[in-house]
Copies of this chain bind each other. A is one copy, B any other.
Amino acid sequence: MTADVNAPAPQTDAPLLALRGVGKRFANAVTALDGLDMEVRQGEFLSLLGPSGCGKSTALRLIAGLSEPSEGRLDWHGEEQARRAAGQPSIGFVFQEPTLMPWASVFGNVHLPLKLAGIGRREAEPAIAEALELVGLSGFRDAYPRELSGGMKMRVSIARALVTKPRLLLMDEPFAALDEITRFKLNNDLLDVWRRLGCTIVFVTHSVFESVYLSSRILVFRARPGRVVAELAIDPNQPRDEAFRTSPEYAGLCRETSQALARAMDPR
């Protein structure tokens, strides 16, 4: 499978979700987020970048509705608002840890979201096979999680998030455990998926290069309390390919992003 990196990007400017003055304080008095304002736009590929422990995962969990903000609010817009009201959010989440069910095979783990949607084994088979093919694990469908390498587990988790073709894809450092070549391939595959499905992706990464290569927009976080300190927009219609990766424009964007990140780490 080769990604059609030249197809038009699905981005629109319609807002999907706005976080307004969101704060998150944990029981142990750690303030993970404070006064976080950010927007997620319909169909964009948004990357969150920031130092370790700055609240990226926390923000992603808030967006997913897995935890409630201690202050501020989340506003959903448009179609998605209706969907959520009807209790049919279509979210794919790749957790920072693989989060596989130890008692199920690779196939079973990837099948899970479909099964939960009432799609049986037989019916789900093609979609699962496709997802496993995408992450290069076709040969391991009957293996159990404990028989997989770290990167393989993470790939199963990615396949599981993609198999439902969700409208909103939240990914928490999905490629951190992967070698560069697999990573590049999956970068392209993900872009392809994004374009084909026209879905919205919020992507947490530590790699400046990756964020620039993939995103249509990058938010840079600072730590404790976590909030957005910089925003970079990248032309979504710019084709993402080897040529882009070696272009001076890319290098410039990376430098810019790196500087923003460096500032975020030492904001004083």
Question: Which of B30, B49, B52 is close to A151, meaning CB atoms less than 8 Å apart?
Answer: B52
* Cα separation A143 to B150 with both chains bound (whole Å): 26
* Chain B residues, CB < 8 A from A151: 52-53, 206
Contact B180 A258 (CB under 8 A): yes
Q: Does A92 contact B (CB under 8 A)?
A: no
Does any Cβ of B come within 8 Å of A149's Cβ? yes
Given the complex of chains A and B, what is the CA–CA distance between A181 and B258 in angstroms? 9
Task: Choose one: B56, B152, B155, B261; the contact of A180 (CB below 8 Å).
Answer: B261
The answer to whether A52 and B177 touch across the interface, beta carbons within 8 angstroms, is: yes
Given A147-B26, A147-B28, A147-B30, residue A51 in contact with residue B206 (CB < 8 A): no
Contact of A181 among B181, B183, B265 (CB under 8 A): B265
Residue with the highest number of chain B CB atoms closer than 10 Å, among A49, A155, A176, A265: A176
Task: With A52-B150, A52-B155 given, name 11 new contacts (CB 8 A).
Answer: A28-B147, A30-B147, A51-B179, A53-B151, A97-B150, A150-B173, A176-B177, A178-B206, A180-B207, A180-B258, A183-B206
The residues of A with any CB-CB pair to B shorter than 8 Å are 26, 28, 30, 49-53, 56-58, 96-97, 143, 147-152, 155, 172-173, 176-183, 206-208, 258, 261-262, 265
